[in-house]
Amino acid sequence: MKIRSIISAFTTAALLGSAAPAIAQDAPSHRFSDEEMVQLSQGYHIGYIQSGSNRLDSYTEAGLDVLAYRLMMDTRVPISSPTVVPLDLASDELNLFPFIYWTVTNQSDNLSEDQRARLQRYVDNGGILLIDTSDISTRNDCRGLMNETIGELDTRPFTEMPFDHTATKTFFLLQDFTSEMSRNPFCVERNDEDSVESLSNIVITDIGIVREINPQQSRVSEREREMLTRQLMNLVLYANTGDYKTDITHLPAILERMQSGPN
């Protein structure tokens, strides 16, 4: 699959060209100027949907800054300024961001049809949406978590993150996506067996993962914080590269790294 940042650049070019009237119709009050949209399409920026809580959003932004720093230090993801961008679900162009994080709250029950349609278009266009239900979660089944947060979207069935999911090997080799903070593994859309390029566009967790990777806010051990950071880094790389590591040509390199033991 093509790198998502490249796709975003072409998408934005189209948005600023012949598709400009469509943007005006869908989001007449979007905050991004044409110049800002071009800037956001170049390099890589991490988006998060504002929760409506200043406290939660401050935790989110600080944690995503930590994530961005690790990505810049350890990978070749072209992180650019502004690094972390708050998004208004009612007006902003989501498709400029391959990866978006969202801590949902009780206010999420009040999503309008237009906001749900925006989310639907985002995942339909290949974006990866990480939903964190730590503030409201009372369910421990994947479909229940989805219904509890943003209601019905047109998605594939949800399942616990499989041990062989592409997101477990996009950068770090991970045995699973779990945490000492929760009994529940990450939930993902089930891969479409009929399509090798099928993505799990919605990922759900209930651990407040962005807060926990920030040393200033974390309640977990240093080892656990590192594992959570690696999980997030893998998801960002997954958003950029898709399922390319399911390609058999990568198998020898993956096996070699597995045999060499953990880092």
Is 195 among the domain residues?
yes
Is 76 among the domain residues?
yes
Q: What is the pLDDT of residue 227?
A: 94
Q: What is the pLDDT of residue 154?
A: 84
Is 221 among the domain residues?
yes
SS3 of the chain: the string is CCCHHHHHHHHHHHHHCCCHHHHHHHCCCCCCCHHHHHHHHCCEEEEEECCCCHHHHHHHHHHHHHHHHHHHHHCCCCEEEEEEEEECCCCCCHHHCCEEEEECCHHHHHCCHHHHHHHHHHHHCCCEEEEECCCCCCCCCHHHHHHHHCCCCCCCCEEECCCCCHHHCCCCCCCCCCECCECCCCEEECCCCCCCCCCCCEEEECCCHHHHCCCCCCCCCHHHHHHHHHHHHHHHHHHHHCCHHHCHHHHHHHHHHHHCCCC
Q: What is the pLDDT of residue 260?
A: 56
Is 253 among the domain residues?
no
Q: What is the pLDDT of residue 190?
A: 80
Residue 69's contacts (CB-CB under 8 Å, 6 or more residues apart) are none
Per run of 10 residues, the mean pLDDT along the chain (length 263 residues) is 38 35 36 78 88 91 96 88 92 92 78 89 93 73 67 81 89 86 79 63 91 93 94 93 54 53 49
Domain that holds residue 59: 4-246
Total of domains in the chain = 1
The CATH number of whichever domain residue 45 belongs to comes to 3.40.50.12140
Q: What is the pLDDT of residue 14?
A: 35
Give the Cα-Cα-Cα angle 223, 224, 227 (nearest 5 degrees).
90
Is 254 among the domain residues?
no
Is 89 among the domain residues?
yes
Is 164 among the domain residues?
yes
Is 263 among the domain residues?
no
Q: What is the pLDDT of residue 20?
A: 31
